[in-house]
Structure 1
Amino acid sequence: MMKKLQSFTRNLFTQWVIFQLFSDLLHLIKSTGSEALKAFIQPLLSVFENAFNKYDVTLLAAKNAEAPTVFDEKRDWGIKELYAIAAVYADHFLKPAKQQAALFLLAIFKRYGTGADISKLPQDDESGVLTNILQELTADAAKPHTTALDVVELVEYIAENNTGFIAGRRLVTEENMQLAGQVKTARTAAENAWSSLRDAINGYAVVNVADADCAALINSLNATIDRYKSNARRARGGKPREDASPETPGETATDTPAQD
């Protein structure tokens, strides 16, 4: 009796791993197997391939939706430059007005860290710290000092890019939430299409037990799925399972999805 093409628990794989698994399975089916099998499963194979391609597109869109880095880089440069200017003039005793202004700025920085320290903070933490520093640097008490050091435009530059980053971050977060829903929907569609295709292959195998090419394809598909299962369990800190179900090689009771 020909072996069955096994199923797997849908939540066993991450979204990128199951994408790669589907890619490998699709390649195997299209490149091997008998012509009779391919003709039998062609409609469902097309549905699966279309669902896979849509999943590919939504995954890529989600990956590309990242926080705007240009604003982050500019505010990093600005805060490091501001600290460097204050540090230089803090020892400039020949220009006491600038020295006093620099010491005033350094006293503010002392509560938050150097410019380099601030630029290395996690992005959201940096946003909060810069917001607080900018409030102090733009207060009435600080204006004479920022003017004396000629850093008013630099402070405005930092503020502009910090605001730009925060606004961009908020938009990206909202977009990511929408994309996450789209990725989930596309993944579910691909998983459902695969389940239907798998059932069709198993149905063909029951009737066409003498189709050696079909048997070879099922063995290759099962071996691929088993490899992905073992890697997934290893990544989760578990041991790969060497036991196999008598009904479905490489498949255990916990690998059978409830929805199938």
Structure 2
Amino acid sequence: MRGKKAIACLLGLQLVAALPVTAAVSGQAKVPANPPTVQVTVNGHVTQLQKPSIIIGGSTYMAIEDLTHLLHAKWQAKGQSGVEVTLRTGVILSFQLNTKRAAVGDKWTEIGAGAISHNKQVYLPLRWVIEQAGHELKWNSQTRTVEIVAPEGYDQFKQVDFASLTQEEKDFVQKAKGRAGVHQLGDLYVIARGQSPNPGYGIEVVGTEWSWEQLKVYVRLTKPEPGRMYAQVISYPYVLVKVKLPPYTTLVVLDADTQQPLFEGAEGI
């Protein structure tokens, strides 16, 4: 994964280096030296970007690496003056840099704002790409925030209660909870610590991180509080989560403190 990203970055830098930074081709707006920046949210959550999103000629642009990361897409340079973005649905978006030419699949057209090069980075028109991915984009003028509204269920990672499960899912949990590891039934995942000597041992999800190929779930294994008495009964700590993963994406559980994979050698997904 890191190797692929490094190659993509290198190709991108080589591509942009060969192009004028403030080119104005085919009616494309000239890029100012210091364009205004905006904040971006997805379903109400602020996104953490590597490069600031900018406004040029009334259109919002996002760095290609940030945008493809947000959409769980991938990108590559095409020739000397083009880039190609593959959405997780398999749809391919193509751009000719510093022009208004873009394509969905093999159908080329001119769009209102095209891809540009700025500060040795490829930037894409946010609204056009977001709409091709099936999302909605809104502008909040009071907070100067671009609000991306993803379809219901998109990337929705949520913890669920045992009582909310179907009988089939409950039966699966009962069988899986005693085995340390990650166990899957459809969009249900059981992240189990395994057998523990008392209820003082636990497991909790503390965060998630998406990438093109992985959903990283950070968990913490908790221990009994010092000095507290616990009933000496066997327990099976686990958490239940539901998420619909994009194609070719896997769920990986990491220790929140060490950043290392948990349950090596245990039954996986």
TM band (smaller chain)? under 0.3
What TM-score does the superposition give when structure 2 sets the normalisation length?
0.24
**Which is richer in strand?**
2
Larger Rg: 1
Flag the structure with more relative contact order, 1 or 2, with Cα contacts below 8 A and sequence separation at least 6. Answer: 1
**Which is richer in helix?**
1
